[in-house]
Structure 1
């Protein structure tokens, strides 16, 4: 039984007139009769009584009309739903992100998007860098808001620039080497460092190492920690200094200073990355991101 057969039965059942029903369906009366007979044979039940007095529904026909109407409403809703998903105006976007790097941007994106696209659900997942990248490549998420580290080498990915940030020395306010932005990092060559454990985030660990090496020394690692919040706490406790992007200042107490490193201005870059086989809703998200960046 086809949807056209069901539609034909509903049209005939509501008009109770073969001529009117045929015209509405843009078919012939003989063809409409064949459709109804075919349905009755398939259902093994008589649906329509046709005699000299006109057309009427049998008890089975009246019962089937109720169910057939529900079926067509469900079918129409299913078609609309699929078409809207394909068009990117309905669906779900799974977004992975580094919460520490997006405190000033993510709330604006989410609130603006939810207001504009109520039929697209945003699912948000907080990750460290390495599992965030893995989740994007393994199709567990659709979009990653992520630092731009070696992404150009992954041909499957597209990316949009979000913002750039300075890399800074993080140290207690009362540290004897505390100074102003634009410091030469080499003056801290003899200082102990607090760093993220490379088993937790090898990219963060390697980034600090590379910045130090570019300034002529290897960092003396005094302590490795599991989270950025613990890193800030240990620096405040005097266990060493560290290097972080300036946006991490949002999470620091007033007892810490962030001092810009000469040559590392805007060295930290955040991007929105997605696979080329994109979720059709992603263009709507990119539109909102562009708008939020322009504010």
Structure 2
């Protein structure tokens, strides 16, 4: 659990909902929040990483861990992928603790498939949990945040969306859309002192536990990824939900072991201008050759974050 530093607990008295908190990153965030004084709604429907099966155990187990350490928590097993169920998750915070101060949109599933083989169900299922789920949760909390003129959202995005990856069109689309959703929430609700930020986590979890380990090289890569424990993500999430982060809004961070990154957001790179406008032929002959040196390379996350975690 997170250690107390620099005086009192960072989120003393706050009530925070953490979705997908039965294991992995969500669990560590829930534990860290509780250690820093928050009362936590531990939400997890207890399915596999692909969304199958259901088990109330994981959420309750994390609640017991928090209580054993002297913290306050309650389990929720509703699904974020349905609006009414998401509403019940927020209501659980209100019924149990009397208020809501923060939401961590962490719940997720994977249905990896190369795009030309992806089924409609594989697309829908992932969008429903990651994007719709984050919208449903945020929308359910937003009315309460507006009324009390305070509140904070932390959404889990991914470099698969920010940069790119193979076989994850559904996941990547949802995760990049989540960045735009977060920015919109931040812009629309800043006048009510509501903040919305994203974290792209690098961490060993069930989500990436399916990486093959058939060769020594693959085994070495997985060993390095395993150093990046979910506990490394939790401190930034706790900070972003605290009053100490009151000036931090609409940002995208990444956490990779002991590194914290501020990620860029799309801005113009360069332009070309032609007084009389452009024909397709002019574009081919002049515009594209002028712009080509600034083209964004066809990289995936591993190409950009190419060094070993430290």
| TM-score band, normalised by shorter chain | under 0.3
The structure with more radius of gyration: 1
TM-score, length basis structure 2: 0.21
Q: Which has the higher contact order (CA 8 A, sep 6+)?
A: 1
TM-score, length basis structure 1: 0.22
